[in-house]
Amino acid sequence: MGKVLIVVLGLLLGLLGLGVWVALGLIGVGVGSLAVFKPLLPVYKLLAQQAWNVATSKEILALPLFILMAEILFRTRLSESLFSGLAPWTHRIPGRMSHITVLASTLFAAVSGSSAATTATVGRITATELLNRGYDRRMVLGSLAGSGTLGFLIPPSVIMIIYGVLAEESILKLFLAGVIPGILLAGSYMAYLGTVSLLKPSVVGSPPPPMTLGERFAALFNLLPVLMLILCVIGSMYGGIASPTEAAAVGVLGSLLIGVFQRTITIKNLCEAFLQASRTISMIGLIIIGAVFLSVALGYLGVPRFVAGVIQPLELSPFMLIVVLIIFYGLLGCVMEGMSAIVMTLSITLPLVLDAGYDKVWFGVFIVLVVEMAQITPPVGFNLFVIQGLTGDTISSIARAALPFFLIMVILTIVLAVFPELATWLPETIKLRG
């Protein structure tokens, strides 16, 4: 069996090293491994069956709609509205307007589901405004890198949908499981920013001109579009009115109405949104098909059982297993995009975690957190490239600025391992449709 694992890893590293697309690499490894070690198995029939199962899965229907919603929102003035609505309420707390990045990312994440879309949409206005107002560059870049990852944790989340399909777990339960950890992560970011500003007041710029209470309340109307969209999308799911797919369809309609209301939607950028969403979902769909097929192939080859048999004699405690997985995914995130790392390893890591006593819902939140770490881990952290495109800073400088926020995510992941109820309490308490 050790020979099988060596061949599988060798094929995988070889194909990816040659620059083969991740999806085709996963399928190639599955086909090649089965051809060598299970030559009598009808490989192509198995591949076709798994591709059909993924393509016709009702859980995956929400994915293209949420991606389309994020693409449409990216082409509206929602970021300007978030900044205008939040700015008047932050100047009296430690850290002042530095908190806008976290708050705006939290709100946008609740209607986006994408880390990259959250970073790009929020960052294109907040980064410029804060830097122009004299805020410390390192703090601005770091907070944007960390806060942008909230797009994966706070529902609706594209990664959670992908995990739910692969792990055969309820999407609604996963969405609920991300609420408390998402709020805790955003709160931790804000606590860090406030603490830094108290210890080093020079990191925050000059205070904005004073505003009356009436003016501040008037500014809240700028948040009305995103709050209404959150209510329609998230509220309909949590209230048991709509399934994730139905809520995503409502979200697409809501994002179109926001674009029409703000007069930012044109035939040209609407076509661009549809085209980019089609490209993204095609890429993700292929990767999911490849991951599911490789998972089935590894099951036929007995690789998960072999790995479990190697690790079990080590007698790792559940907590130590999680620490090992954090290190493993952290190192993997240095050389591989987060979603690809998940789909390539889930068939092996999920059984280990279940054997340790954790459940699928908890592991879904854990896996999202480690993917968030990969988003800001050089050299391939995608959020780092998004911020580089916005600010022109080097990847290394952005990564250094993001380091405190990376460590905050590591700490929260460890806390989640010690207190898994932080992720499982809401799904166990609230009964939802679907």
**Is residue 11 assigned to a domain?**
no
| Count of structural domains, the chain | 1
Q: Buried b vs exposed e over 10-38: b needs ≥16 C-beta within 10 Å? A: ebbeebbeeebebbebbbbbbbbbbeebe
What pLDDT, on the 0 to 100 scale, is given for residue 312? 67
Q: Can you tell me the distance from the alpha carbon of 160 to that of 237, in angstroms, rounded to the nearest whole number?
A: 15
Of 326, 235, 337, which is closest to residue 287 (Cα–Cα)? 337
pLDDT value at residue 199:
92
Q: What is the DSSP string of 79-129?
A: HHHHHHHHGGGTTTSTTGGGHHHHHHHHHHHHHH--HHHHHHHHHHHHHHH
Confirm whether 4 is domain-assigned. no
Task: Let me know if residue 98 belongs to a domain.
Answer: yes
Determine, yes or no, domain membership for 13.
no
CA distance linking residue 399 with residue 394, whole number of Å: 9
Q: Domain containing 189: what range?
A: 20-429
**What does 261-301 look like in DSSP terms, one character per residue?**
HTT---HHHHHHHHHHHHHHHHHHHHHHHHHHHHHHHHHHH
Q: Is residue 9 part of a domain?
A: no
What integer pLDDT is reported at residue 1 of this predicted model?
57
In angstroms, rounded to a whole number, what is the distance separating the alpha carbons of residues 122 and 105? 6
Residue-level pLDDT at 118: 86
Whether 236 is covered by a domain: the verdict is yes
* Other CB atoms within 10 A of residue 412 CB: 18
Q: Please state, in angstroms and rounded to a whole number, the distance separating the CA atoms of residues 282 and 230.
A: 26
Residue 158 forms part of a structural domain: yes
Sorted by sequence, the CB contacts under 8 Å of residue 174 that are 6+ apart come out as 155, 157, 160, 161, 163, 164, 361, 364, 365, 427
- Judged on CB neighbours under 10 Å (0-12, 13-18, 19+), 204 is buried
pLDDT per residue over 281-304, tens digit each? 888 788 778 877 877 787 777 776
Select from 222, 429, 307, 295 the least CA-distant residue to 27: 295
**Residues of the chain below pLDDT 70:** 1-2, 5, 16-17, 40, 59, 304-305, 307-308, 310, 312, 335-337, 379-380, 431-434
CA distances (Å), origin 301, targets 14, 52, 350: 20, 22, 17
Q: How far is CA 107 from CA 9, 79, 183, 404, in A?
A: 41, 10, 11, 22
192-236, pLDDT tens digit by residue? 999 999 999 888 877 777 777 788 888 888 888 888 988 888 888
Residue 208 has what DSSP assignment? P
Q: Enter the tokens of residue 350.
A: 């999920």
Residues 349-379: pLDDT tens digits? Answer: 888 888 888 889 999 999 989 888 888 887 6
The pLDDT value recorded for residue 396 is 87
pLDDT score at 2:
63
Does residue 6 lie within any of the structural domains? Answer: no
Q: Which of 227, 218, 224 is nearest to 89 (CA)?
A: 218
pLDDT of residue 182: 92
Report CA Rg, the chain.
Answer: 22
Segment 233-249, tens digit of pLDDT: 888 887 778 888 888 88
